[in-house]
């Protein structure tokens, strides 16, 4: 990389400053993302984890899971994190966990 800079005659100080600025913007954006989610995003995450189907009231299981997480103030942790912890503890799949939540 240093050889490329020398060939391009780039100012190392400006390159480092630009990289540091980009790093700060990325970190600030990530911090914001880490503190904010939406129920729509978390429902999509549930679907990506393979949760599908509806309960006996025809409510989609991703909605049931997210509503339960919201009710227990766990949604801010993210559905993937919570479902992952439950799966690690129980050995159940996300689908089985969703069905269990729905039966409660």
pLDDT score of 36: 75
Same domain for 23 and 66?
A: no
Domain that holds residue 21: 2-35
Res 4: pLDDT: 59
C-alpha neighbours within 13 Å on the C-beta side of residue 91: 0
Write out the two tokens for 82: 């919570």
- pLDDT the model gives residue 2: 61
Are residues 43 and 86 both part of a single domain?
yes
What radius of gyration do the chain's Cα atoms show? 22
* Same-domain status, 44 and 58: yes
Residue 93 DSSP code: -
Domain identity same for 70 and 28: no
Q: Is the pLDDT of residue 5 over 60?
A: no
Contact 47, 98 (CB under 8 A): no
Express each pLDDT in 41-91 by its tens digit.
999 999 999 999 999 999 999 999 999 999 999 988 899 999 999 999 999
Q: Which residue did the predictor score with more confidence, 99 or 9? A: 99
How many structural domains compose the chain? 2
Distance CA 17, CA 30 (A): 20
- On whether both 23 and 64 belong to a single domain, the answer is no
30 and 46, same domain (yes or no): no
With 0.85 as the threshold, say if the pTM is over it: no
The rounded distance, in Å, linking the Cα atoms of 20 and 88 is: 38
Rounded CA separation 2/91 (Å): 50
Residue 1: the pLDDT is 59
Note the pLDDT of residue 10: 87
Statement: residue 100 has pLDDT above 80: yes
> For 10-19, what is each residue's pLDDT tens digit?
899 999 999 9
What six digits make up the tokens of 35?
């503190």
88 and 57 belong to one structural domain:
yes
Residue 96 sits in a domain of what CATH number? Answer: 1.10.8
- Give the count of beta carbons closer than 10 Å to the beta carbon of residue 60: 18
**Shared-domain flag, residues 78 and 99:** yes
Q: Are residues 83 and 46 in the same domain?
A: yes
Q: Are residues 66 and 16 in the same domain?
A: no
């Amino acid at each position: 990389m240093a050889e490329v800079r020398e060939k391009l005659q780039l100012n190392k100080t400006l390159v480092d400053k630009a990289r540091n600025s980009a790093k700060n913007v990325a970190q600030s954006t990530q911090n914001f993302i880490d503190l904010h989610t939406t129920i729509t995003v978390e429902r999509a995450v549930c679907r990506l984890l393979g949760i599908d189907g509806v309960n006996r009231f025809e409510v989609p299981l991703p909605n049931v899971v997210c509503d339960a997480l919201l009710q227990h103030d766990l949604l801010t942790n993210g559905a993937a994190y919570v479902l992952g912890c439950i799966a690690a503890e129980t050995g159940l799949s996300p689908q089985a966990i969703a069905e269990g939540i729905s039966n409660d």
